[in-house]
Structure 1
């Protein structure tokens, strides 16, 4: 109880509970009854006006708590009616069903977001008139300059209840930390002292719980059991990606209802969906690269049971709510048992049994390491950004990007963190440095990285444990009530085995073993090159462009990915091209010559990109193509100076480093002039695509009729 809250008698508390039960019945049906933990949260919010953190399993009923609390606070009881409830959530698009349910309790909800700018003034007027009970906003909205400066101060002063949904996102110890959530500190600081706050999450261990509670300040923590008695967990150790696809093809019909198949990469989701469709299964892929309208349609098809499964990356994020979801299968393990618990928790909310199957892969750790490289940038890059923002005019992310070697999404994430830390400020037109002292917290970043590494090891242990799997996950989330479930494959007889049919395995092997993906050519120079002293802009002249090319596969592919990563990794020794890969290249060239999208003209010669990492690999590949294709090998495009840029950096910095790096030896140029057909340009790895583009440009300017790029792998 806060100092400003008068004592409330037991009789008055009982009366409040009766009113709460009445609201709940309007919300959830005439037989609905508040559980004790729900009532404790509602009582703390409405009677004691406290701050509350609920760490409760999915399906616990957090929406019932904040909608019932809203109704009570808006009614006012013995005091004046409270202002509207503000719900900060990343799940606005997925909360329509909850808002519709709330309407049954007489609760009016509105949303302020980037899609309804024309309604903002009307909604703000409705809030001032007391007509809005619930306002839903995204965490990103908290730092929109107009909203932050013109709406947020008044809203904070009038808020009757603040709800922080998916509160683990506030903590950088959490598995899904989002910098925009840290802006809630500003919102909290602007609330009147008696304003109740509810934070909820289903996925927080003790460290995240303590961090969030500390940020809330003097919070009542209500932590419940994370047991999910409808879930039956299992792990199957299968030898390779083909076996995992074959297992899915053989067992998908045996999995109950419809469900989700999670993969670690976009390529994995795309390939898995394509293979399952080829085997007759109605499935759809769902990734961050799929258009929003297509993703929404796929979600709806799953909700309506029109498809057997969504094959998804983590882009199918928090809050997807299908109560009768019958299964969740993972092709590859997430890097954290906490993230895994959250994803599997989408199944079995309103069905008696749901199947959860993990099919881990040997390549999982390599994928985790790749994503770890995309974390908060090193100090020198952060300082470079701050230096570029030290002027009097705000700079947009697009204008800033060419000046620092960071890709757009990583740069934006870093700017949001700096904004929360007070080092920069977002304004109309972009970002400005505040000039405030700022310290790069090396120690904390190291501790977070160490925590991530420990989580990865724990996930590997989960896959291999012979103890109860549900108990293991619950202990990872520091659930004090964790105990054996009696249902998982270690507690009871496993429902599935690792056997696959010969037909499915042969089909999967053929599907994954077929090499060849298209390399799309660059047609435009990146924007902002003038800012880094490069006089290139607009469209790349047609006479300097390369043609569409081919690669054996992506480093993230289910089929060729592990073999290509083993060959091209930074620690991989240089060696002649393996026979298997040489044969795959020949197969690609045959398809390229005779397929539906065949090259317009057969290449007349082979040229290599000089490689500092894999010179023997590239020279042996070029020699093999020359021999098999009976094409002269003219030599290599030389690198005139060292490339100091980061291949994972942004395009402008990559072009700055490479635009004059390639030279065509005179003997090669002389041969090019005598050819009347394109040349095949061979390299090991295409990452940003600018190495191949600029090496090809050098060949075109030296007289090549055309350039057909051929690489062993594409990054990503």
Structure 2
């Protein structure tokens, strides 16, 4: 078949894919170049093209052509669950049978594996986390590598250390690439790769298979109109949304930096009568599916989302993207805003930066690769173990939070120093070098990205040109549409009513603090005889905090008060009033001590304070203030013995080890508990891991107190 016939066949498949059978739909020349390279030349190619360019059309058309010529199924590795669901539906229109294996459908995995083996599946979409599953890697991956007809790596910037969203699981693809049969085409796609990332990914693609073809196009988005609106505070930003959301075209996405901020914005906008839905890492899968369907069907004005939605939502007529706070990377920002305006001529993109943004960046910035002693400690623990160690077991040895420990192990796995097996992790014994220079370069790049976002917010030059420049687009030029090119198009005013409503929403204190129920794994190995479930009579109850440090309401008020460099002092009057409000709401909640009926809880008999090394005056005045207003006796302060050592943002095992022997119930407090048996309020300034509250509650319960009810100023997240 010559090129003309192959092109005609490809165009016919595209027409079916877009729902236009027999119509005039045709691949553009750049799309055809990619399809031809895969189908005719069986090459490895990297496509760097803007969101909406049509990368999925390339791999679905190539799949149909290859399958008609006897090739095996296409394997698509993608981190985007929402996009996976969209693409399964799109493929069906062209008669392409697509299935997906990801964390949301484990009950279907066995059936899907059977369908693939029988040749009943044309496309298998796999999340990168599956590549790190022992069973998948050892049983399924070799079969896929031997039988696949096309490998597609979506969001390929995730392969590179330099990509804004590097994922160690993606590096597993190097093994699959090496195991592919000769002549199997590979397509890597991304919309957000600068020159360095492009070169890195192309080199990895071409390893052992000749030089990869790089197809890079302009990143201009002619439908997008970009703007930045500087407003005084979080209340003004919420009020602006309530005042102007209806003026934004169609339906869209409102991105927030934290789960708490997304939930606050959703609650406020619903109060103001807007049909919106929240979409975060805490959203249940069924609710996510419903939220996606509602946005696709234009039944909601917006999804208020965190990066859990990310770039993986395919709605061509998305009319706007608003960022409630500035992301920390211009490349990630370009990708998120790129969801808008794909199938419409005009879409609005607006960023509402906040003073709290950089504090949130810092809070979530524990992604740097761990220090060498921590890495060596992990390797030694694995080498000394007689059997594979799970991550919870390693936590007893290595002072790293679980997410950082898991990420570190995945990197070491890719580097060949450790291996994941059934039951946990083992060391390979292979020599390994700590590449401090490389990790420092990555850290410097992240810092440079943050500085670029500061510059984007204040620039008086073209905003689209700025973003394209960050992606090394050689064709970057003024867009003529953004607020700097064409003049401001955003009305900044808000009404008194909207502002008052926003302030009232953000000023409302009170979030639940869930207690610890289980002791961490591995404590006996540390000489601490605690394991299994914490006995019910030694647990603390579900507590309350004024807010989370990650929210844009009370978080903004509490972060400066609890900062490492903040001076100690008496509790501010507004904070004490808020604590009393939380206490009153707690008492009136279902089952609270101010309610009536058989389920009403007994009223607290007194207040106990936790000792604070950094803010003793703050905690003491908070505890006594709550006691005075609540007309409860202040029973005393738990003693700090001076044993133990401070561990900041550590994992559970290390945190509990540090707390072992740190506290004691002094005699006067024990006597007060005995004299006034019943529930007590336990007051502290801050809870992160929850282990300080758990240890203190256990001591108080053993000393004779009733239920322990924690009341703290701030929860971590």
Normalising by the residue count of structure 2, what TM-score does the alignment of the two structures yield?
0.93
**Is residue 7 of structure 2 the alignment partner of residue 17 of structure 1?**
yes
- Alpha-carbon RMSD across the aligned residues, in angstroms, is 2.2
Kept after mapping to 2: 8 A contact 1:247/1:499: yes
Greater mean deviation of Cα atoms: 384-393 or 183-192: 384-393
Tell me the CA shift for residue 641 of structure 1. Answer: 3.2
Tell me the CA shift for residue 105 of structure 1. Answer: 4.2
Kept after mapping to 1: 8 A contact 2:645/2:659: no
Partner residue, 2:639 = 638
Change (3 A) 1:517 1:141: closer
Structure 2: how far apart are the matches of 1:462 and 1:608?
A: 46
Tell me the CA shift for residue 171 of structure 1. Answer: 0.8
Kept after mapping to 1: 8 A contact 2:326/2:354: yes
Q: Which secondary structure does the structure 2 equivalent of 1:135 belong to?
A: strand
Tell me the CA shift for residue 645 of structure 1. Answer: 5.3
**Is residue 579 of structure 2 the alignment partner of residue 585 of structure 1?**
yes
Partner residue, 1:507 = 501
Change (3 A) 1:602 1:229: same
1:543 maps to which of 533, 537, 541 = 537
Structure 1: how far apart are the matches of 2:442 and 2:149?
A: 35
**Is residue 213 of structure 2 the alignment partner of residue 213 of structure 1?**
no
* CA offset digits 1:624-649 (Å, max 9, x no partner): 33444444434321222344353422
Change (3 A) 1:212 1:645: farther
Matches within 5 A, 1:408-557: 408-557=402-551
Tell me the CA shift for residue 410 of structure 1. Answer: 2.7
**Is residue 661 of structure 2 the alignment partner of residue 660 of structure 1?**
yes
Change (3 A) 1:75 1:710: closer
* CA offset digits 1:602-653 (Å, max 9, x no partner): 3333322111111222223233334444444343212223443534222233
Change (3 A) 1:552 1:227: same
Tell me the CA shift for residue 683 of structure 1. Answer: 1.0
Greater mean deviation of Cα atoms: 355-364 or 515-524: 515-524
Structure 1 stretches lacking a partner, 5+ long: 1-10
Matches within 5 A, 1:150-299: 150-217=139-206, 218-299=211-292
Kept after mapping to 2: 8 A contact 1:405/1:645: no
Partner residue, 2:115 = 123
Normalising by the residue count of structure 1, what TM-score does the alignment of the two structures yield?
0.93
Structure 2: how far apart are the matches of 1:543 and 1:102?
A: 56
Partner residue, 1:134 = 123
Structure 1: how far apart are the matches of 2:272 and 2:24?
A: 46
Aligned residues: 699
Kept after mapping to 2: 8 A contact 1:546/1:707: yes
Partner residue, 2:596 = none
Matches within 5 A, 1:256-405: 256-390=249-383, 391-405=385-399
Partner residue, 2:598 = none
Structure 2: how far apart are the matches of 1:97 and 1:592?
A: 43
Structure 2: how far apart are the matches of 1:103 and 1:231?
A: 30
1:89 maps to which of 67, 73, 78 = 78
Structure 2: how far apart are the matches of 1:553 and 1:96?
A: 35
Q: Which secondary structure does the structure 1 equivalent of 2:144 belong to?
A: helix
Change (3 A) 1:351 1:547: same
**Is residue 678 of structure 2 the alignment partner of residue 711 of structure 1?**
no
Structure 1: how far apart are the matches of 2:88 and 2:198?
A: 27
Structure 2: how far apart are the matches of 1:530 and 1:262?
A: 44
* CA offset digits 1:99-141 (Å, max 9, x no partner): 44444545443445544232255224324xxx54433322222
2:34 maps to which of 19, 31, 41 = 41
**Is residue 555 of structure 2 the alignment partner of residue 561 of structure 1?**
yes
Kept after mapping to 1: 8 A contact 2:84/2:100: no
Kept after mapping to 2: 8 A contact 1:550/1:711: yes
* CA offset digits 1:305-352 (Å, max 9, x no partner): 111111111001232111111111111111101111111111111122
Structure 2: how far apart are the matches of 1:713 and 1:99?
A: 43
* CA offset digits 1:422-479 (Å, max 9, x no partner): 1111222222111111122211111111111110111111111111111111111111
Q: Which secondary structure does the structure 1 equivalent of 2:638 belong to?
A: strand
Structure 2 stretches lacking a partner, 5+ long: 594-600
Partner residue, 1:700 = 701
Kept after mapping to 1: 8 A contact 2:99/2:125: yes
Matches within 5 A, 1:52-91: 52-76=45-69, 81-91=70-80
